[in-house]
Structure formats: structure tokens, C-alpha cells
Amino acid sequence: MKKYVLRGFSAGVFCTTLILLIGYMLMNDENKQMIDETAAQAYVKEQGFHVLTDDEIDKLIEEKLELDKQQEEVPKEETTITTEIKIESGMLPQEIAQQLEEAGIIEYSEDFTSFLKEFNYSQKLRVGTYQVNNQQSYKELADLFSKS
């Protein structure tokens, strides 16, 4: 390669690098606008977000915990559900328990059926119509259904 070709090539690379450097510096200044904290908060609020400090977040968490404690302390008022259950001849304990569950007297029919079988109430059930409510225990219900 001749000396003047190499110098021309080097000059071209240098000029191109210089042009790219100037362009980069000009573009970088426009994109690198430093914003302060208040401007950032204003922008975030414009977008529909809320800006909270760490202290404000801690205060909100404490208030939430206090509200949760107060709600736990307030006793839940249970309404008494009273209904009439009819036990017919040939009914299985599962059918009786299902009636009680559908009426809202007990939560789980399987539990009541297990209770009846475990304490031998399932063989002592009597035909009849009974007034029951959701405040009665499994034992009270079983005693009621097995009375002579």
C-alpha cells in the first residue's frame, strides 16, 4: 500500500470518529436532563400514582394493623337459624346430616354422620319431626333425634 492511501484512509476514519463524537455529545445532552425530586413527584402524580415517604407507609401499616385488631375484638353476632327436620322411617344418618347441612344448622354433613356412627347414635335415631337450631351441638342434636 502506498503512503498517501494509508494517510487518506486514516484521515477518513479520524473525521468519521470526530463527527460521531460530536453527534453523540449533542444527543446525550438533550436526553440527560437532570430532574429534581419535586419534578419527579409531580410527574408521577400526573400519571395517577401516589407518592409516599417511608414514614407515611409505616404509619399506614400501623393503622391497618390497629383496624385489624379492632375488627377481631368485635364479637361476631351469630344469628340463630331455627328449622324443622323430619326424620322418616328408613332414613340413613347421611340423609339426616344432609338435611341439616342444607338448612344451615351444621357446616359439614360428613362430620355429623361420623359423630353419629362413632357414638352409636346412628342406630338409635327415632322417626319424627324436630325443631333444631344452629346453636345446638352435635351431641344435643343426636340426643334430640334419639329420644324415645
Contact 108, 101 (CB under 8 A): yes
Superfamily of 82-145 according to CATH? Endolytic murein transglycosylase (3.30.1490.480)
> Averaged over 12-23, what is the pLDDT?
93
Whole-prediction pTM value? 0.48
The CA–CA distances, whole Å, from 58 to 50, 54, 63, 115, 118 equal 15, 6, 9, 49, 52
pLDDT digits (tens, 9 = 90+) for 90-109: 999 999 999 999 999 999 99
For residue 31, what pLDDT is reported? 53
Nearest to 96 by CA among 109, 83, 81, 82: 109
Q: How much is the pLDDT for 36?
A: 73
Q: What is the DSSP code string of 40-106?
A: HHHHHHHTT-----HHHHHHHHHHHHHHHHHHHHSPP-PPP-EEEEEE-TT--HHHHHHHHHHHTS-
The mean per-residue pLDDT over the stretch 18-22 comes to: 93
Q: In angstroms, rounded to a whole number, what is the distance separating the alpha carbons of residues 92 and 96?
A: 7
Confidence of residue 8 (pLDDT cuts 50, 70, 90): very high
Asked if pLDDT for residue 76 goes beyond 80, the answer is no
Kindly report the backbone phi and psi dihedral angles of residue 77, in degrees, each rounded to the nearest multiple of 5, phi listed first. -85, 115
Read off the C-alpha cell for 89: 322411617
Residue 72 has pLDDT above 80, yes or no: no
Provide the pLDDT for residue 23.
86
30: pLDDT strictly greater than 60: no
